[in-house]
Structure 1
Amino acid sequence: MFVMILAGGKGERLYPLTRDRAKPAVPFAGRYRIIDFALSNCINSGLTRIVLLTQYKSISLDRHLRLAWHIFHYEVGGCIYSIPAQHRYGERWYEGTADAIFQNIYTLEQEKPEHVLILSGDHVYAMDYRPFISFHLENRADLTMGAVLYPRKEARRFGVFEVDKEMRVLNFAEKPREPFPFPGKKSHSLVSMGIYIFKTEVLVKRVTEDAKIKESSHDFGKDVIPRMIKEKDRIFTFLFEGYWRDIGTLDAYYEAHQDFLRDPPPIDLHDLSWPIRTYVPPYPPARIKGGEVKNSCISEGCVILGKVYNSFLSPGVFVDEDAVVKDSILLENARVGKGSVVERAILDKEVR
């Protein structure tokens, strides 16, 4: 199984966190980057042939890959590398998720996999892909898509499937006003996770066809999948019952952090049987000197003289005397001055 991770989106709704960094490189939960979750899922699932398709402000992401993930080339005997947009088909950037794959068909021709797992680089979840892959192979599917159940009112924000009892896809709608109900649970809808397993020959055929359609937005959800359904391809969904978050907006980013402060958290970052790997600069241990910390995650190199409640602090954060940080997210080397109060806020790197 060959893995291609879509990591080139602008992340405009996450601005200003994406002003100077790629969306998958945005810090998350103190010491991690968003991309670490998809990559860790791959390694933990035994998938080691991985390529990231990068584009927008990719230096931050490339640097993280070089520092955090280069060692696994040797440890797992595979490869993890990034490919920036190559302009192989004219002077244009990736115009959609399907176009990103189309512009990198040459990579598939070199690797020659029978099946391709396509992931998004901006989702937070812990998933063993092996049952997903087994389901795809057992059903002899042309395409299998990961999906989660959402209450129908909330499902309007996503792509929604209509399926039969065997989980074969009958219809698909992007952000519908009236989401399809899920069989046996009418109050919920089956929502796309934006992860796909394709037969390689089907993938190449469908994205090549799509590239020839001028009116297409060259997106899997909007264009390719509806066309595949119409053409009666064998398309299935795989129900994932764990935690999954699309970190697409500042509100979603903030709410996801609050999820991780609940007891128990949706993903146990202390579970060594499913480690979330990352890179942390060589900071000293965190130090709490006369301060107070409750229900918070404090990273390496932090110095706490004040009070921190229900918050995430990335490496190197300094909280001075009589300062209060509450319900907030502070990124690397942020400083909170003496007597300051930070509440329900996101402070970017080196903010003072």
Structure 2
Amino acid sequence: MKTKRKNVIAIILGGGQGSRLFPLTASRSKPAVPIAGKYRLVDIPISNCMNSDIYRMFVLTQFNSASLNAHIKNTYNFSIFSQSFVDILAAEQTPDNPTWFQGTADAVRQCMPHFLNHEFDYALILSGDQLYQMDFNDMLDDHIEAEADLSIATLPVNDKDAPEFGILKTDSENFIKSFIEKPAKELLPDWKSEVSDDMKSQGKEYLASMGIYIFNRKLLIELMSNPDTKDFGKEIIPQAVENKKVLSYQYEGYWTDIGNIDSFFEANIGLTDDIPQFNLFDNDNKIYTRPRLLSPSKFHKIMVERSLISEGCIIHSKEITKSVIGNRTRIGADTVIQHSYVMGNDLYQHIDDINEDIKNNRPLIGIGERCFIHNAIVDKNCRIGNDVYIKGGKHLADTTNELYCIKEGIVVIRKGAIIPDGFTVK
């Protein structure tokens, strides 16, 4: 039987305004964005913690936090006899802190009084917008064995991706001796590291910070006492490397940063692969979320290929190919969905409301009949009429309007949008 890590607290950073994920973050924070049809992004770090026997977690947020609050309140309820919790700490004004969070480190600093109300030896700091499965026990064991002050999870990356990360170099004992934030491409030749033969064969010879840290309690208190440092990657980590024992924990599994629409879309569509890099079907690494007690999904004369279909759906469409379909999705007859993510609906429409909408020629909640949707994200609670044609692709220029946005060729139908019959984007 597993024992809980009683000397560790986890701090999950909810991120800032999430402008690169707009319009998905127009009315919700980044950690609350739906992923894989039935989960939220925040479920990923929380599940990784629970699978690593860490059951005391704080989620720090300040933008559009209402849906995140509701999700966590309705999902992570532990026994009243347990010390386990997932608490949300929103930015709050106090006599000592009259401002909003000014960066990742500043968010942790402003919330330190709440952390110090709990006993812990180690603080595990995580991002709320990454997709990965990691056993933090291995990282914690290495941290303790090396008697490190701070440990950073690192990932080998190639020269194309390296300029987007903090890049570091280590000595023979994996202690970090130098660190550079988002280096220019011409500087990269001096920043190659020793990696496994498998990583080297893929051209991944640069060690990138994953934004996953373990701090000793004493060091965290010391570093947070300086109000001038606002960010971990730009200030805290480079300063710590100069005079502290900072360990690199090299990770070679699947990991992706959900920083923009393109990476979010590809991460979701990647789940439909025959053998996906992120495994939702793992007995030892379950992804937890809110149990909604929905009915089974219902299909009528449909061809489904390499797709994920969530619970409670009513689907009459002709074809669903390489797509992710969220909870309570309704799709009309003869509709084709390809290479798309349909997030689903929060509620079923009552029969009286359906009849009223039909009478007034208003599209029903869901996707209508004879539609074609390709390379698109359909946010929650949309009403898409009949004979709608949406074909995303690189041929489309970026645009934003009240119904949809186009980013990197991906058409994003905005939450609650009403798309009339015969509407076309191509």
Specify the TM-score bucket, using the shorter chain as the normaliser.
over 0.9
Measure, in 2, the Cα distance between the counterparts of 1:250 and 1:280.
27
1:29: Cα distance to partner?
0.6
1:75: Cα distance to partner?
8.7
Change (3 A) 1:122 1:271: same
Q: Does 1:203 align with 2:209?
A: no
Measure, in 1, the Cα distance between the counterparts of 2:373 and 2:140.
45
Measure, in 2, the Cα distance between the counterparts of 1:107 and 1:199.
17
- In structure 2, the residue matched to 1:9 is 16
Higher relative contact order (CA closer than 8 Å, sequence separation 6+): 1
Q: Secondary structure at the match of 2:311?
A: coil
Aligned 1:99-110 pairs, distance under 5 A: 99-110=106-117
Q: Secondary structure at the match of 2:264?
A: helix
- In structure 2, the residue matched to 1:31 is 38
Q: RMSD of the TM alignment (CA)?
A: 1.6
Change (3 A) 1:200 1:168: same
Q: Secondary structure at the match of 1:106?
A: helix
What whole-Å deviation, never above 9, does each CA across 1:205-240 have from its counterpart, x for those lacking one?
A: 11222x1x3xx5x1000011111122x210011011
Change (3 A) 1:73 1:181: farther
Preserved CA contact (<8 Å) 2:97 2:110: no
Q: Secondary structure at the match of 2:161?
A: helix
- In structure 1, the residue matched to 2:121 is 114
TM-score (norm 1): 0.94
The percent of aligned pairs where both chains have the same amino acid is 34
Measure, in 1, the Cα distance between the counterparts of 2:378 and 2:52.
34
Q: Does 1:160 align with 2:155?
A: no
Which protein has the larger Cα radius of gyration, Structure 1 or Structure 2?
2
Counterpart code for 1:140 = E
Aligned 1:256-271 pairs, distance under 5 A: 256-271=267-282
Measure, in 2, the Cα distance between the counterparts of 1:75 and 1:262.
42
- In structure 1, the residue matched to 2:89 is 83
1:244: Cα distance to partner?
0.7
Q: Which moved more, 1:266-275 or 1:139-148?
A: 266-275
2:335 pairs, out of 323, 331, 343, with 323
- In structure 2, the residue matched to 1:311 is 323
Measure, in 1, the Cα distance between the counterparts of 2:281 and 2:240.
41
Measure, in 2, the Cα distance between the counterparts of 1:246 and 1:131.
21
Count matched residues: 345
Preserved CA contact (<8 Å) 1:73 1:79: no
Change (3 A) 1:90 1:279: same
Q: Does 1:299 align with 2:310?
A: yes
Preserved CA contact (<8 Å) 1:168 1:235: yes
Preserved CA contact (<8 Å) 1:322 1:340: yes
Preserved CA contact (<8 Å) 1:45 1:128: yes
Q: Secondary structure at the match of 2:283?
A: coil
Q: Which runs of 5+ in 2 are unaligned?
A: 1-7, 346-364, 384-426
Counterpart code for 1:51 = F
Aligned 1:329-344 pairs, distance under 5 A: 329-333=341-345, 335-344=366-375
- In structure 1, the residue matched to 2:239 is 227
Q: Secondary structure at the match of 1:338?
A: coil
Measure, in 2, the Cα distance between the counterparts of 1:94 and 1:187.
34
1:44: Cα distance to partner?
0.9
Q: Which runs of 5+ in 1 are unaligned?
A: none
Change (3 A) 1:113 1:10: same
Q: Secondary structure at the match of 2:164?
A: coil
Preserved CA contact (<8 Å) 2:13 2:125: yes
Preserved CA contact (<8 Å) 1:48 1:76: no
1:151: Cα distance to partner?
1.1
Q: Secondary structure at the match of 1:16?
A: coil
Measure, in 1, the Cα distance between the counterparts of 2:9 and 2:295.
38
1:8: Cα distance to partner?
4.2
Measure, in 1, the Cα distance between the counterparts of 2:254 and 2:116.
34
TM-score (norm 2): 0.78
2:72 pairs, out of 50, 61, 65, with 65
Q: Secondary structure at the match of 1:198?
A: strand
Preserved CA contact (<8 Å) 2:156 2:204: no
Counterpart code for 2:368 = G
Q: Secondary structure at the match of 1:156?
A: helix
Q: Does 1:348 align with 2:379?
A: yes
Preserved CA contact (<8 Å) 1:285 1:300: yes
Q: Which moved more, 1:340-349 or 1:98-107?
A: 98-107
